[in-house]
Every structure is written in C-alpha cells, then in structure tokens.
A = this chain, B = another copy of it.
Amino acid sequence: MNKFFSVEDAQNPEALVTEALQLKANPRAFEHLGKNKSICLIFFNPSLRTRLSTQRAGELLGMNVTVFNIGKEGWQLEFADGVVMNGDKAEHIKDAARVIGAYFDIIGIRSFPSLADREKDYTEEVINAFYQYAGVPIVNMESATLHPLQSLADLITIREHQGVIERPKVVLTWAPHPRALPQSVGNSFAQWMNRADVELVITNPEGYDLAPEFAGDAYVTHDQKEAFEGADFIYAKNWSSYEQYGQILSQDSRWTVDAEKMALTNNGKFMHCLPVRRNVIVADEVIDSENSLIIDQAVNRVTAAHIVLKKMLEVQG
C-alpha cells in the first residue's frame, strides 16, 4: 500500500477488516517489521485520538515515531505553483515534502479544509501535494474531505458488534453543533459503508446533503425518525453544509440523538468518532448506555492505523 487516502486504497475493505482483527488479536506479532523504519506524523490541525492512536500503532510495529506540529513548530507552506513567495508562506510544499520524504519511510498528514472554497478543498491539494513530492507512502490522518482511518475503525467496530445480523442497517445521522465542521467524517463513513455489506441510510436536514460522490447509492431522507426505524447502528456526526459550502444552516436540537429516537431502532448501537459535544450531538442517556460503542471505535483507531502501517511497511520490504 503506497497511500491510504480513501476506501479506494483499501482494495477489498472487508478483507482489510478481517486482517485488522487478526492483528488486534496478536498486536505484537509484527513488532520487528518496523525496526529501523520511521514515520513522521504531520499535524496542520489539533488532534487527540489520531495523534495518540497512530503513534501507538507505529510503536507496536517497532517504528520510530516523530510527531511534528508543522504550523506551530515549523512555518506556513505555499501550495500554489509559480508564485512569487513574498508573503507569509516561508516554504513551498514541493521542497518541504521532498525533504521530509527523504528523512522518513512513511508520512502521516492531518490537514483540515478551509470551509471557504469548496472547489479548492475538494481537490485535496495538501495531501495530494505530499504524495506527489514526498516519494514515500502517505497516510491520510483526516484530510479536507475524508477520514479513512476513522472509517476503517468504524467498519471494524461494526463487524465486531453486528452479532448474528447478516446485513445490518447502518444510519448516518447529521446532528447539531455550534461550530462549522468539515464534511470529512460523514463523507468517509458513507464512502466506506457504500463498499461494505450493509444497508446505508443517511439522514440530515435539507441543505445538508453530502457530496454525491461520497453519498453514492445510500438512501437519503430528511426525516430522521423514518431513518432510525429498525436501524442496527446509528452513527451521529455533525457537518457543515456542502451545498451552501461551510455554512451552519441549522442548530436544531430536534436532531440531537436521544433515547426516544434510539427506541425506534432494532436495539441499535450508538456510534460517534469523538470528540463529541454531549447533549448537543447526543444525550448523555444514549452515549453512556450499554449500546454505546464510542470507546470501541476509539480503540479500533489503533487497529486501523496498525493494519495500514503494516501494509505500507510490507511494500517497502
């Protein structure tokens, strides 16, 4: 595996999950694979789970892990070609990426969207530029539009908890939030579920439909209750509008996931990627219930990073 940007790089998502679960059962099995190998985790934005879980995964493989908060410890990068760089960007991505690629065997990148320019955000210029110039495998640690390590962890979690249900009904529901958030988790979850053996339903207020290339064949409804009926998994997440790009069109608390709505489901499990605004996205009664899988998802972030890094190391030999 030379890049992990989206479900496309997973080839067979279900097979990847199976392999990930084997690794989880025997986490030290490949601790010599990363000996003398190094990874640099580059953060343009804050992170808790991604930072710590990817670091742990690298350590489980015996790698040297370097965390670099590029904006705070380094400087701003220029991404446009041919620019006269007399502004506030001190280095061009071409040069920075080639250098970091020369120092490390694998690079992880977290880079959020501007939420100001949809076309630009959806070109994924940051992560693509690193891939173009660095010359080493690149892991998406949440880019402008996708968060595949999260979605892989989510699919692993669903497989661990679906029990006897053969083809679970999985509902991705928008929920309110006081800040304008990226669409990346929603996009990515939809993209992965479209490739998994599940029935995907997406529910959100009008104006909040996800980009068609990620929503895919999912059934989309603006009626949250309809969506919840008989669901096996409820995945809550806020995102800002894709249509009126980056805008907050609603903070309607009627979209908060509570026990009453969960009662409509098939004893459904509750999922969220964290961090979560309690009693805004979801009521305490739901997130603290036995059906809440949030910690399982977070634990599986290590497993997701573990299998992805393992596959990248195997390619390098």
A contacts, CB < 8 Å to B: 28, 36, 38, 40, 43, 46-49, 51-53, 55-56, 59, 64, 66, 68-70, 72-75, 78, 81-87, 90-92, 94-96, 98-100, 102-104, 178, 251, 274-280, 284, 287-288, 294-295, 298-299, 302
The A interface, classified by DSSP as helix, strand, loop or mixed, is: mixed
Are B298 and A99 in contact (CB-based, < 8 A)? yes
Bound-state CA distance A70–B38 (Å) is 24
Residue of B nearest to A277 (CB): B85
Q: How far is the CB of A290 from chain B (nearest CB, A)?
A: 15
Stoichiometry, as copies per complex, reads 3
Residue of B nearest to A288 (CB): B94
Bound-state CA distance A81–B287 (Å) is 13
Bound-state CA distance A147–B217 (Å) is 57
Are A90 and B275 in contact (CB-based, < 8 A)? yes
22 A-B pairs in the complex with CB atoms less than 8 angstroms apart: A40-B52, A47-B73, A47-B74, A48-B74, A51-B68, A52-B66, A53-B103, A55-B66, A59-B64, A75-B275, A83-B278, A83-B279, A84-B279, A84-B280, A85-B279, A86-B251, A91-B274, A91-B276, A92-B278, A95-B274, A95-B275, A99-B274
Bound-state CA distance A56–B101 (Å) is 12
New A-B pairs, 14, CB < 8 Å, besides A51-B74, A85-B279, A95-B276: A46-B75, A47-B73, A48-B68, A48-B74, A48-B91, A48-B99, A52-B68, A52-B99, A59-B64, A81-B284, A85-B280, A95-B294, A102-B298, A103-B302
Are B72 and A72 in contact (CB-based, < 8 A)? yes
B residues in contact with A104, CB < 8 Å: 52, 56
Q: How far is the CB of A92 from chain B (nearest CB, A)?
A: 5
Bound-state CA distance A280–B98 (Å) is 20
Identify which of B49, B51, B96 contacts A48 (C-beta below 8 A). B96
Bound-state CA distance A216–B116 (Å) is 53
Q: How far is the CB of A132 from chain B (nearest CB, A)?
A: 13
Are B82 and A279 in contact (CB-based, < 8 A)? yes
Residue of B nearest to A57 (CB): B103
B residues in contact with A49, CB < 8 Å: 99
Are A278 and B102 in contact (CB-based, < 8 A)? no
B residues in contact with A100, CB < 8 Å: 48, 52
Q: How far is the CB of A257 from chain B (nearest CB, A)?
A: 14
Bound-state CA distance A182–B83 (Å) is 24
Are A277 and B59 in contact (CB-based, < 8 A)? no
Bound-state CA distance A85–B86 (Å) is 40
Residue of B nearest to A72 (CB): B72
Are B69 and A103 in contact (CB-based, < 8 A)? no
Bound-state CA distance A49–B40 (Å) is 12
B residues in contact with A55, CB < 8 Å: 66
B residues in contact with A69, CB < 8 Å: 73
Residue of B nearest to A92 (CB): B278
